Structure 1
């Protein structure tokens, strides 16, 4: 158990002293960037899914 406590203490120390954290403005702009790309990517996947489902529906209607 002492090893685990030591690990946690060292982890917090490293996060506090050795990690370079972004500024608040950088964090906000990067969060917005990730949100925009997530929305664009999800819309692209939705579009491809819609096209494929219509192609498959057309295919099955044409063979029956």
Structure 2
């Protein structure tokens, strides 16, 4: 049990004193980059999906 308490104390000490936390400005910039990248990827996937849908409909129209 003593090892577990020591482990918890070491974890707290590391999180409270040794970890470099981002500032609010850095956090907002990172979040904005992730949001923009996610939107760009979603649009690219939507465009590719639409292209492949039309391509498959074109190919299947010859079989009917």
TM-score normalised according to structure 1 size: 0.79
Q: Which runs of 5+ in 2 are unaligned?
A: none
* RMSD across aligned positions (CA): 1.8
* Corresponding position of 1:62: 62
Hey, what's the Cα distance between the residues in 2 that align with 1:48 and 1:31?
Answer: 26
Structure 2 residue 14 is matched with structure 1 residue 10: no
User: 4+ residue runs of structure 1 moved beyond 6 angstroms?
Assistant: none
Which of 9-18 and 42-51 deviates more?
9-18
Which residues of 2 match residues 1-64 of structure 1 at below 5 A? 3-64=3-64
Q: How many aligned residue pairs are there?
A: 64
Which of 12-21 and 51-60 deviates more?
12-21
Could you tell me how far 1:8 is from its partner in structure 2? 3.7
Q: Which runs of 5+ in 1 are unaligned?
A: none
TM-score normalised according to structure 2 size: 0.79
